Amino acid sequence: MTRTLIRGGLVITATEELRADVLVEGEEVAALLSPQASDELAASAETVIDASGHYVIPGGVDAHTHMEMPFGGTFASDTFETGTRAAAWGGTTTIIDFAIQSVGKSAREGLDTWHAKADGRCAIDYGFHMILSDINDQTLKEMDALVAEGVTSFKMFMAYPGVFYSDDGRILRAMQQAADNGSLMMMHAENGIAIDVLVQQALAAGNTDPRFHGQVRHPLLEAEATHRAIQLSRVAGCPLYIVHVSASEAIDEIVRARDGGSNVFGETCPQYLFLSADDLARPDFEGAKYVCSTPLRPIEHQAALWRALRTNDLSVVSTDHCPFCFNDQKELGRNDFSKIPNGLPGVENRMDLLHQAVVDGHISRRRWVEIACTTPARMFGLHPRKGTIAPGSDADIVIYDPQAQQVLSARTHHMNVDYNAYEGKQITGKVRTVLSRGEVVLDRGEFTGRAGRGRFQQRGTCEYLV
């Protein structure tokens, strides 16, 4: 069993900051040691890593990615190989992607398809949520079987009629099943029926530019769907996780539910914290780069999002990483914003952007670790294996330089996409070294990992239910 000693850093978890050395034996954290105790072990360690002047944090857990996702006649440009490698460059050591049940097919077929996409190709550890697009008696039975296999969360859509959309009756049936089997229901909360009316009206009026994507997906239609999803979950008695919350009005619905004691949780994404509807309005079709759903909002919504993260009314920051190249893919909607593939790249930039939020005073260092590492691990049944640095946990560890300066750019990122949503943004802080289950996979600008090293993670159930 190999022994690695990480010395001299400031260990930051969701609950504490301490000067300690981290002893790794094999794939797990063995102990947190005082400098004096680690002196005695240094000679017996195969590898000693100097973390002086750096933070030592758990590897990031990105609970919302879409590698190779089909959308609008094309596919997300990151494969499981390229996407998980980029994640590692950005300090994320575990992703949870979405397997998709297609209409007319079984959930089992969808999960098997996604296993085939990922198996032997991932550079870091991974798990799956299951998107349910066709609720029937057989699907409900399959939910129980998938939970037993460690797929313990299911996503449904109130948007995208004719593709992923489920009506309230199907949603309620799935929620009732989730209440019985202990799984967590995830919801894309937008009123897709109303949005489609507004889309057609906009196009009929000649409004085809990308900025209209944000206008037709009105904040109140996110809030209405969020309210409806919450009420359905209360009727069913199941926990609910609202994905990619972007509007202050939707936050209000979540706050009201949580204050009332409901098991309702909210997630947001870096794009809503750092970008805005102004980016959708960029000239010469540049706004197409920023088309995602829920859409980017007017900048005044950002204050509410940051406040909700500080108060824990929003619990997780994931990326919803779903990249499409500007050339060839986003171009599909040049004359019709509704045909622009929905999604942004971001899996490589999340940890750095959130550290910038620490520098800017929006959140604390421990909250940074909590919303990017620990809470997603606990929310989706990976803790304490993932999301923390403690004896017995997987040695997924990032050595982070809080003083390093970098500029985000497509020229230097490792995501398989031809633009960066944060192009030119100056960031303070940068990943220096990444360990995945005890093995150094990235160090000082050199990637030493490999495709196929990542393992599928069977997950338990949510730890936050009351």
Q: Write the CA distances from 218 to 188, 191, 274, 277, 294, integer angstroms.
A: 14, 9, 19, 12, 9
Q: What is the pLDDT of residues 333-390, one digit of tens each?
A: 999 999 999 999 999 999 999 999 999 999 999 999 999 999 999 999 999 999 999 9
Answer yes or no: do 438 and 299 share one domain: no
Answer yes or no: do 34 and 93 share one domain: no
Answer yes or no: do 310 and 371 share one domain: yes
Is 353 contained in some domain? yes
Instruction: Give the pLDDT of residue 37.
Output: 84
Instruction: Give the pLDDT of residue 453.
Output: 97
State whether residue 50 is helix, strand or coil.
strand
Answer yes or no: do 343 and 441 share one domain: no
In the chain the first and final C-alpha atoms are separated, in Å, by 40
Which domain CATH number covers 88? Answer: 3.20.20.140
Instruction: Give the pLDDT of residue 36.
Output: 86
Is 145 contained in some domain? yes
Whole domain around residue 187: which residue ranges? 60-380
Answer yes or no: do 214 and 229 share one domain: yes
- The distance from CA 384 to its chain's CA centroid, rounded to whole angstroms, is 18
Which domain CATH number covers 39? Answer: 2.30.40.10
Q: Which of 21, 179, 127 is nearest to 387 (CA)?
A: 127
Is 110 contained in some domain? yes
Burial of 386 (0-12, 13-18, 19+ CB in 10 A): buried
Is 85 contained in some domain? yes
Residue 406 binned pLDDT confidence (cut-offs 50, 70, 90):
very high
Answer yes or no: do 395 and 365 share one domain: no
Answer yes or no: do 40 and 77 share one domain: no
Is 82 contained in some domain? yes
Answer yes or no: do 9 and 77 share one domain: no
Q: What is the pLDDT of residues 148-201, one digit of tens each?
A: 999 999 999 999 999 999 999 999 999 999 999 999 999 999 999 999 999 999
Angle between helices 107-118 and 137-148 (to 10 degrees): 40
Is 347 contained in some domain? yes
Instruction: Give the pLDDT of residue 17.
Output: 98
Q: CA 434 to CA 4: how far, in whole Å?
A: 13
Answer yes or no: do 342 and 428 share one domain: no
Is 417 contained in some domain? no
Counting the structural domains of the chain, the total is 2
Answer yes or no: do 49 and 78 share one domain: no
Q: CA 58 to CA 441: how far, in whole Å?
A: 14
Answer yes or no: do 52 and 119 share one domain: no
Q: CA 82 to CA 80: how far, in whole Å?
A: 6
Answer yes or no: do 110 and 81 share one domain: yes
